[in-house]
Amino acid sequence: MRDRLILLPGWGLGTASLVPLAASLRAQDPRLHVELRPLPELADSALEVWLDHLDRSLPKDVWLGGWSLGGMLASALAERRGDHCCGLLTLGSNPSFVARTDWPHGMAADTFGTFLDGCQNHTQVTLKRFRSLCSDGAQQPRTLLRQLGIGVPDTDPLYLANGLKVLAQLDTRQALQRYNGPQLHLFAGSDALVPAEAAQALSDLLPDVEVGLVEESSHAFLLEYPQDLAEGIKSFLHESGDD
């Protein structure tokens, strides 16, 4: 269904963070069916197991999208589904969250390792720190930080740690190159977790794909500018044949 969009959330925050954007999308285009789905809660941290789970549980022949980790998983699933994915939308999703030799636009591996250790041993402190990083760079960081604390699910630390292990494995560059459907990738200009340089690097990698940068916005820019983002997403869907 080209009028159906499935959105996956970022790590550790649940679907509440996507609610304002989903509401704005529905208000601007009543024909668009927007569904929010949580990230998998699995005792296995193998990427293929997560993708198998998502492939079984999410409807086919729909648009796939997500924020941060959710967008990275949607990217990998879009490539797997090929023509059975109508299109792809990512928000603040670095093709590789962890820096690699040929992708320096990510978090240093040792920094990520410290973050994973904190998740396993000091879960609540790490989640609080993560929400703070999500709001860094926002026009009103304190307000945004409070918003990010609303509706956060009480997730088992094992599942949270496995989500980070999956995040470390993901490198969606080849998946994005192989997926032939329409793609829109939006980044935040003052993101404390995903360097803004990743937007230009992705644009260089995919010159025929639409990549946008929202200036003066944080990693949680979907909570800062839900109406503006919804307007841009609506235009992209229509230009891609959704009307």
CA distance 87 to 85: 6
Catalytic residue of the set 191, 217, 218, 242: 191
In the annotation, is 110 catalytic?
no
CB within 8 Å of 113: residues ≥ 6 apart: none
CA distances from 153 to 81, 90, 157 (A): 29, 22, 11
Q: Shortest CA distance to 42 belongs to which of 155, 159, 161, 170?
A: 159
pLDDT for the residue numbered 242: 45
pLDDT score of 98 more than 90: yes
178-192 residue pLDDT tens: 999 999 999 999 999
Give the containing element (helix H, strand E) for 63. strand 62-67
Q: Are 29 and 242 a contacting pair, CB within 8 Å?
A: no
Catalytic residue of the set 24, 135, 219, 242: 219
How many other CB atoms are found less than 10 A from the CB of residue 94? 30
pLDDT score of 102 more than 50: yes
pLDDT for the residue numbered 241: 65
Read off the pLDDT band of 240 (50, 70, 90). Answer: confident
113-149 residue pLDDT tens: 999 999 999 999 999 999 999 999 999 999 999 999 9
77-91 residue pLDDT tens: 999 999 999 999 999
pTM of the model: 0.97
Count of domains forming the chain: 1
The neighbouring-strand residues paired with 65 are 7, 89
CA distance 181 to 2: 12
pLDDT for the residue numbered 113: 97
In the annotation, is 191 catalytic?
yes
Q: Average of pLDDT values for 86-102? A: 98
In the annotation, is 156 catalytic?
no
Read off the pLDDT band of 112 (50, 70, 90). Answer: very high
Q: Average of pLDDT values for 157-170? A: 97
Q: Domain range holding 14?
A: 4-242
pLDDT for the residue numbered 243: 44
Catalytic residue of the set 68, 93, 96, 135: 68
Residue 56's domain is classified under what CATH number?
A: 3.40.50.1820
Q: Average of pLDDT values for 48-59? A: 98
